[in-house]
Amino acid sequence: MAALISIPYSYRAPAVFIETNVRGTLNILEAARTVGPACVVHTSTSEVYGTPQSLPITEDYPLRAPSPYAASKIAADKLAESYACSFGVPIATLRPFNTYGPRQSARAVLPTILTQLLAGRNPLRLGSLHPRRDLTFVSDTVDGFLRAGDCPAAIGRVVQLGTGRSVSVQELVAHACEVVGRRVEVEVQSDRVRPDQSEVQELLADNSHAKRLLGWEPTVTLEDGLARTAEWLRAHLNRYKVDRYSV
């Protein structure tokens, strides 16, 4: 959970992502190997798939690194796999899709949209509007992690946490406008757009393994999650630098 996660920042500082995400994972695995048979719940990410050729995405889908961030997470995944195979460290790998909710960093698209709306900005300044994401509310993601840490059947497995529903950034803007009660224009800014070959066009999870192994399924709808997130952001808007593009 201490990984660096900002994809735009990984373009600027790839070495830092390797040091933090790969070496940091190595430190955890070494500690687990030394201490004994405590289960390690390793955090992966849906970004390791790149843009898939078929949907929904299952856990056995080939890995592809469209960004330095994704490459660092694939390396961490493989390190975890190697420690399970080489040293018998009990590891469950969870692969969350896009988690959102209160307290989320402004580097993520949803807080970027909502904070601008709540601050009265028009137009909204965003990046690409067409990519589609599978958004999971933070309490559901937390529930998945807690279940995995106490589930022997998850050891040695990769398990995805996602809702099985994808929305585009454009659709997300529309939903957010409904929640906040505003109508705005959107301005696409080039410095917020990922390189063409690096943008993941759509992420959509098959969560059947999570249901079967963990007894997990999402309980918070996107509409409810957006409302709860907007309510929290409204009360804490002073924490965010609304007009600054954070990478």
Closest Cα partner for 148 from 38, 40, 58, 48?
A: 40
Helix spans in 88-210 (H)? 109-118, 138-148, 169-180, 208-209
Phi, psi of 125 (to 5 degrees): -105, 115
Tell me the one-letter amino acid at 65. Answer: A
Residue 113 to residue 172: CA distance in whole angstroms: 8
Residue that has been written with the tokens 């997470």 in this structure: 73
Per-10-residue mean pLDDT, the chain, length 247 = 94 98 97 89 98 97 98 98 96 98 95 98 97 98 97 96 98 98 97 95 98 98 98 97 91
- What residue type is assigned to position 111 of the chain? P
* CB of 181 closer than 8 Å to CB of 131: no
- The one-letter code for the residue type at 55 is L
Domain annotation for the chain: domains and CATH numbers: 7-239 (3.40.50.720)
Give pLDDT, residue 36. 82
Q: What is the pLDDT of residue 198?
A: 96
Contact call for residues 203 and 57 (beta carbons, < 8 A): yes
CA dihedral 77, 83, 85, 88 (to 10 degrees): -130
pLDDT at 246: 87
By annotation, the residues acting in catalysis are 69
Cβ-based neighbour number of residue 31 at 10 Å: 12
User: How many C-beta neighbours within 10 Å does residue 152 have?
Assistant: 10
Neighbours of 158 (CB within 10 A): 20
174 vs 187: CA distance, rounded Å: 14
